[in-house]
Amino acid sequence: MKVLVLGAGGFIGRHVCARLLEDGHAVVGCVRRVEPFRRMFPRAETEAVRLDHADGADAWRARLAGCDAVVNAAGVIGGGAVRAVHVEAVRELLEACAGAGVRRFVQISAISAKPEAGTDYAASKAEGDALVRASALEWIVLRPSLVYAESSYGGTSVLRALAACPAFTPLPGRGDQAFSPIHVEDLAEAVSRCLDGRIAPRQTLEPCGPRTMTLAEIVCAWRRWLGLPPARPLHVPMPLIRAIGAVADMLGGGPMGRNAIRQIEVGNAGDGTAFAQAAGFAPAAMETWLQRRPAHAPERWHARLMAVRPLLRGALAIGAIGTAAVLAMRAAGASIAGAWILVALAPALLLLIAIWRLIEDER
């Protein structure tokens, strides 16, 4: 089979591409950054595609030449391109599929794309899913709960950073937000089955792991996996978390933005047993996956660096501003320059200590 994958360079997209190539399919990866994808997947074809710049159904027809199926693993949690990526691009792609000989269409949506979320993310995801369902193709909509792997990106990196915090574990509110996490390789297994017909078309499934866990339980599981000692929870009030989300949106959004926080609040729990029955296989529990793939220093480094990254950036900024201020005051002949040197050096010292602690950890 020849399969066009949207969002092929993303977290889920990469794992799907790897699985499809392993299954013997030909893959056409649609990505924004062509060269890294080409180097990672030399056996795949690559198409440069910007989903927020509609280039029409004809452009899609050319990309779809010879393709039997499409997997849409593209998505964006917030920002100005949400509708273009989740709705307009899907509409044009479906229009092109109709005349291009494509039979199957696997849409990766999200279990939290519910109207009650009240976000443009959820609304546009639901609208895109409805377009897929209304098509004459052999469609399957997969709405996974939290998808995780040993590698992490976006939301899972944030969770891992919470898990790696020293002394205490910050949790949004009571940390009782529910998830039924599924490993990315189990999700890729589901996609593989959608393509070869073991999962029947024209149904919407919710890929979920066998256990529903609270956010606090997930963070504790990651902490144990990282080999770190238990830490006391620090319950951060939700209004403060939402305020952090507003600031994050001003700085570019992402997994800390308001949409991401709302999607966590609205709930990501589903029925893993129902999914296992429908899909013909049982995804493994998070603990099982984490035991299969023990963590090493790179995972701990990454988790800690995620947590200290804003501090490092802040320290660098204060250091640079402090240094500039010292130089300016010195030039002006001010006598308090010595104190400013301390202000400038203190962040650099913090930076050194943080890096020193990190590079001590080699296993």
Ligand X SMILES: NC(=O)c1ccc[n+]([C@@H]2O[C@H](COP(=O)([O-])OP(=O)(O)OC[C@H]3O[C@@H](n4cnc5c(N)ncnc54)[C@H](OP(=O)(O)O)[C@@H]3O)[C@@H](O)[C@H]2O)c1
Measured distance CA(153)–CA(255) in Å, rounded: 9
Q: Is residue 33 a contact residue for ligand X (CB under 6 A)?
A: yes
Residue nearest to ligand X (CB): 75
Least Å distance between CB 261 and ligand X?
14
Binding residue (CB under 6 A) for ligand X from 64, 87, 108, 261: 108
Mark 143-182 with x for binding to ligand X (rule: CB under 6 A) and - for no binding.
Answer: -x-xx-----xxx---------------------------
Q: What's the sign of the alpha-carbon dihedral 32, 262, 161, 252?
A: positive
Question: CB pairs under 8 A, 24+ apart, for 183-186?
Answer: 183/147, 183/148, 183/149, 183/209, 183/283, 183/284, 183/286, 183/289, 184/11, 184/12, 184/15, 184/147, 184/148, 184/149, 185/15, 185/19, 185/149, 186/281, 186/283, 186/284
Q: Is residue 207 a contact residue for ligand X (CB under 6 A)?
A: no
Least Å distance between CB 253 and ligand X?
12
Q: Is residue 211 a contact residue for ligand X (CB under 6 A)?
A: no
Binding residue (CB under 6 A) for ligand X from 1, 18, 32, 346: 32
Least Å distance between CB 360 and ligand X?
31
Whether 97 and 62 have beta carbons less than 8 Å apart is answered as no
Which tokens hold the place of 27? 């893959």
Binding residue (CB under 6 A) for ligand X from 3, 5, 13, 25: 13
Binding residue (CB under 6 A) for ligand X from 21, 26, 45, 50: 50
Measured distance CA(209)–CA(99) in Å, rounded: 37
Least Å distance between CB 320 and ligand X?
29
DSSP state of 356: H
Nearest to 142 by CA among 336, 320, 9, 275: 275
Q: Is residue 347 a contact residue for ligand X (CB under 6 A)?
A: no
Q: Is residue 76 a contact residue for ligand X (CB under 6 A)?
A: yes
Residues that bind ligand X (CB under 6 A): 7, 9-13, 31-33, 49-52, 73-76, 81, 85, 108, 110, 144, 146-147, 153-155
